[in-house]
Amino acid sequence: MAKSKYEYVKEFELDDRLPPSNWIVVRIDGCHFHRFSSIHEFEKPNDSSALCLMNSCASSMLDHFPDIVFAYGVSDEYSFVLSEKSKFYQRRTSKIVSLFVSYFTSAYVMKWREFFPNKDLKELPYFDGRAVCYPKAKVIRDYLAWRQVDCHINNQYNTCFWMLVKSGKTEREAQLCLKGTQAKEKNEMLFNQFGINYDKLPEMFKKGSCVFRNKYLWFSKVNTQLPLFRHLHAKSYLKESRLSSKKWTNITLPFLCKFNSILKISS
């Protein structure tokens, strides 16, 4: 670009590069999705089609952005992990966040008919986003564990809440019934009043969804190919483990970083 006397305006731009040698997490959240889900009559407390749409969008993100090594989603949010070695857009916060949010939103609109063939998109979805740096794989594990625990707490409450509403209580009455209750009491309520065993609910509802690249590592000693992520394979949604597991941190994250082993959800 030719220089001009107006180029001084560039000096007002901030240097928003994220620090090197840190893992990056970009978390996107649906804006006003309570209203959006109501307008489109999502099933309560969980709409499988809506969750699978979010998973499909996250899968497209991994297709399009190879720097993403892992993704975790629940409800209307998704967290995307970039390794500490990533140089994506010189690690500029504004570029990374704006690209992730815009691409995810575009994918959501384009894929809508695939998951809701009989529903028109009555209102445009939109998401906000933020980028945070974490210095160690252990902190990434704790971050993901935090989001997964939040998933469980919210899902347990919402399952009780909407069962009470469906049984005839007002939303205010349902809130008062659940006020001050502990996890054990909620489980007992679901089982005794509605015949629901919380442990039998789909794993995606209770633990969230992981999106990753499914790659096989060659072990020369045994002369065979073994899947390192058997318990995280597509559509099992953390069937056998929790993200707070130390084993998950010690084995999975270094593997992702070294071998770039994350892929999209496959059918």
pTM exceeding the 0.85 threshold for the entire prediction: no
pLDDT digits (tens, 9 = 90+) for 13-72: 889 999 999 999 999 999 999 999 999 999 999 999 999 999 999 999 999 999 999 999
Cβ–Cβ < 8 Å for 256, 262: yes
- Judged by DSSP in three states, 168 sits in coil
Tell me the average pLDDT across 217-230.
Answer: 34
pLDDT digits (tens, 9 = 90+) for 161-195: 999 999 999 999 999 999 999 999 999 999 999 99
Residues 6+ positions from 263 with CB-CB distance below 8 Å: 62, 212, 213, 214, 215
- At 212 the pLDDT is 86
- At 73 the pLDDT is 95
DSSP at 85: T
Spacing of C-alpha 212 from chain mean position = 11
Tell me the percentage of the chain whose pLDDT exceeds 70: 79
Cβ–Cβ < 8 Å for 78, 50: no
Give me the DSSP letters along 214-239: --EEEETTTTEEEETTGGG-TTT-SS
Cβ–Cβ < 8 Å for 122, 40: yes
Cβ–Cβ < 8 Å for 259, 267: no
- At 213 the pLDDT is 80
Q: 133 versus 219: which is more confidently predicted?
A: 133
